[in-house]
Structure 1
Amino acid sequence: MPTAEIQSLLDPQLMSQLERMELVSRKIFRGRMKGERRSKRKGQSVEFADFRNYVAGDDLRTLDWNLYARLDKLIVKLFLEEEDLHFYTLIDSSPSMGFGDPTKLQYAKQLAAALGFIGLIRSDRVVIESLGQTVRQRGPVLRGRRSVWRMLDTLNAMEPTETVSLAEGVKRFCLRNQGKGIVVLISDLMDKEGYEAALRYLVARRVDVYVMHILSQEEIDPDVKGDLKLVDCEDQDMAEITVSAPLLARYKKTLDAFTRGAQDFCSRRGMHYLLAHNQLPVKDLMSNYLRRRGLVR
């Protein structure tokens, strides 16, 4: 992979910042391998957590014989178990994500690379997929620092050409992946069928869901005027308009209602919502906004 492509997603200064972070899941989950994080679930390790009464079938090696000698009771010692975190990133690669400079998709890749890098260096299970993948087309399961290159290859291969609806893409993702942990959806949420059905699929998974709503600065504050013909990049619908100050004011009011509606939809269902634009440096997004929302620490 060319060095320029690598640095466009993960530059050395950003990686140095990410080395000090870790991903946070608020839910109890079961990993497939031992990891570096402490789980709320009790198991076997070297760190003591609690006591409980012995029940038939418990491992006799966990009995506290000193307590038995003093209290004449069989007491089992419990320990914190270390697990791996399942971390999924689902990226919208529809044509509308190809808009902006840098494009919304490029910004989504940078954000996914940063989050994935944190997961990999912490020995979490990292899976990065796009909405257009089929039910059987699962993304590679990445683990460990040596997998950073595979992660970057996966991201750089994504192009804004997928035409699957947001709801169908998320539904396929849920059918492909059953692990618990964190799911981050990175999308502009621009779908004529709406985003609600897609997000309901994620709610049903009972995982920590983060919705990263990415817009371009050109969409937030368009610098256009005069007579224009607009062409929908996804279905080629056309509309002729005359841009005026009142029209721009109405557009911004509509966009504000759209983003506030998405935020309210997420918060009422226990999902975390974050609106970001393509001019906000990813390092600032990671160190400030995502820390305040509890995804990283």
Structure 2
Amino acid sequence: MLFTESTLRKIKQLTLVASRVRSGAIKGERRSSRRGSSVEFADYRNYTAGDDLRRLDWNIYARLEKPFIKLLEEEEDLAVYILIDGSRSMNWGDGEQNKFDYARYLAAGIGAVALGSGDLLSVGFLQGGHVVSEFGPSRGQYALPRLFRFLETLEANAETDLNASLREYSIAPRRAGLIILISDLFAADGYESGLRQLLGRGHEAALIHVLAPDEIDPPFAGDLQLVDIETNIEQDVSVDGGLRNLYRARVQAWIQSTQADCRKHGIRYLDLVTSQSWEEALLLEMRRTGVVK
């Protein structure tokens, strides 16, 4: 998983947006909304790999032979949690329009933004009602190759239960931060209760809804047998122009309903179709909806 130098340069200019920056245990590159001087000393904390060595207190190191980082009053980091839906329905779409590949590139781009901003990044992979693998928590741009390698190992090959997976993720003790869920939302029991449980833990949330072009406007017609990609349940249908119009209308109603529900609960919502390049989605659409700036 490689980015061009041009894309990386643009990504490095972005930061993730949280309406209330979460106070962390380490200095980050972002600025808190609290008033104060950026040169006002606040506290010390233990050195962690990837920290800016310019913040190391060499006097304390000389006395104690232990590295400590100086924290300043106005500087805080953000805990960022990217959650990726790994259901078989995500493995749909040809070539660059494959939803799962698209989701992984989005996760890589968002992760690069977080790591480049000094934020604390974790990535969770959701399958079968569980969090089956995790990356992080990590910070600093040195972790970017490890993030890419982690994402390359993932495969969308199982059923999913988003609510159960999100509830499981909420149980582990984590610092409150920004949750970003990337999914097609094809889950029989929905996602709402699981995501709201995360909100109840003090997290902020953004939902990136990814669909393939033929899921918005199916190109087929006639007498067909449809097979559910996750459950293998079969359904015979006869598709004509009227049914296609009804389908398109219901998809748009579903998207609008999801957007309204997210707005009601303070969740930032972005619907994406994989015919749009992931770079454009990250650099333009996510900026437009306030996920990044």
TM class by shorter chain equals: 0.7 to 0.9
* Partners of 2:8 and 2:173 in 1: CA distance: 28
* Partners of 1:177 and 1:153 in 2: CA distance: 26
Map 1:1-297 → 2, pairs under 5 A = 6-7=1-2, 10-41=3-34, 45-46=38-39, 80-101=73-94, 102-132=97-127, 134=130, 138-297=134-293
Q: Secondary structure at the match of 1:36?
A: coil
Q: CA deviation at 1:43?
A: 7.7
Contact 2:124–2:131 (Cα < 8 Å) also in 1: no
Task: Give the letter for the 1:90 counterpart.
Answer: L
Q: Secondary structure at the match of 1:198?
A: helix
Task: Give the letter for the 1:161 counterpart.
Answer: N
* Partners of 1:183 and 1:156 in 2: CA distance: 21
Task: Give the letter for the 1:88 counterpart.
Answer: Y
Contact 1:119–1:125 (Cα < 8 Å) also in 2: yes
* Partners of 1:144 and 1:170 in 2: CA distance: 26
* Partners of 1:168 and 1:143 in 2: CA distance: 28
Q: CA deviation at 1:162?
A: 3.0
CA deviation digits over 1:63-93, x for unaligned, max 9? xxxxxxxxxxxxxxxx743122101100001
1:136–1:115: structure 2 CA closer, same or farther, 3 Å change rule? closer
Q: Give the length in aligned residue pairs.
A: 261
1:206–1:136: structure 2 CA closer, same or farther, 3 Å change rule? same
Q: CA deviation at 1:136?
A: 8.8
Instruction: Give the TM-score normalised by structure 2.
Output: 0.83
Contact 1:40–1:80 (Cα < 8 Å) also in 2: no
Q: CA deviation at 1:12?
A: 2.6
Q: Secondary structure at the match of 1:96?
A: helix
Task: Give the letter for the 1:92 counterpart.
Answer: D
Instruction: Give the TM-score normalised by structure 1.
Output: 0.82
* Partners of 2:89 and 2:186 in 1: CA distance: 7
* Partners of 2:175 and 2:163 in 1: CA distance: 20
Contact 2:22–2:77 (Cα < 8 Å) also in 1: no
Once the two structures are overlaid, the 10-residue window that deviates more, 196-205 or 180-189, is 196-205
Q: CA deviation at 1:293?
A: 2.0
Once the two structures are overlaid, the 10-residue window that deviates more, 197-206 or 160-169, is 197-206
* Partners of 2:140 and 2:101 in 1: CA distance: 24
Q: CA deviation at 1:257?
A: 1.2
Q: Secondary structure at the match of 1:294?
A: coil
